[in-house]
Amino acid sequence: MGGDRERSPTMKELLDMKYLECCIKEALRLYPSVPLIARQIKEDVHIDSYTIPAGTTAMIVTYMLHRNPEIYYKPEQFNPDRFLPQNCQGRHPYAYIPFSAGPRNCIGQKFAILEEKSVISAVLRKFKIEAVDRREDLTLMGELILRPKDGLRVRITPRK
C-alpha cells in the first residue's frame, strides 16, 4: 500500500498480509475467543484401555490445548513465527482450533481473519498502539467468551 493511509486495502493486499495473519493466529492461540468447546459423543470411543460411552459430554479447553508445551515451544511466549507455513508442517490440524474444528467449525473464520486484517491494518496505518498493562497482570474471565476482567488499557498515538 506504500504510504497511502487514506484508502482501504484491496482484497489482494489483504490476502498478501501473511505476517499480520500470523500475528492474528498467535493472538488467537493465546487468547481464543471461545475458551472451551463442549461436544456430546455420539458413539462409544475407545482410547487405550478406556471406553468413553456415547452420550458423554466432552469438554475441549482450547485455552489449555493452545498452550500444550509438547506442541508449542515456550507456549506462553507470543511468537507469530509459529504460524509461518514451514513451522506449521507436521502439526496436528486439531492442535490449533480457535474457531472449533470438524463439522461444527465456524463457517465464517476466513471472513473473520480478513475482517481483522482490514481493521488492524487501517488502525495501524494511522496510529501506534501500546499496551499499558502487562499480560501477566491481566485477570481473564472465561464466560461464553474469553475476556479480560477489567478490560484492556492501551495508549494510542497518531503516526506522523
Binding site members for heme: 106
Distances (CA, A) of 18 to 35, 64, 73, 83, 85: 25, 26, 21, 9, 10
By CB atoms closer than 10 A (0-12, 13-18, 19+), residue 95 is middle
The neighbouring-strand residues paired with 127 are: 158
DSSP string for residues in 24-72: HHHHHHHS-SS--EEEE--S-EEETTEEE-TTPEEEE-HHHHTT-TTTS
Binding-site annotation, residues:
106
Q: How far, in whole angstroms, is CA 141 from its chain's centroid?
A: 16
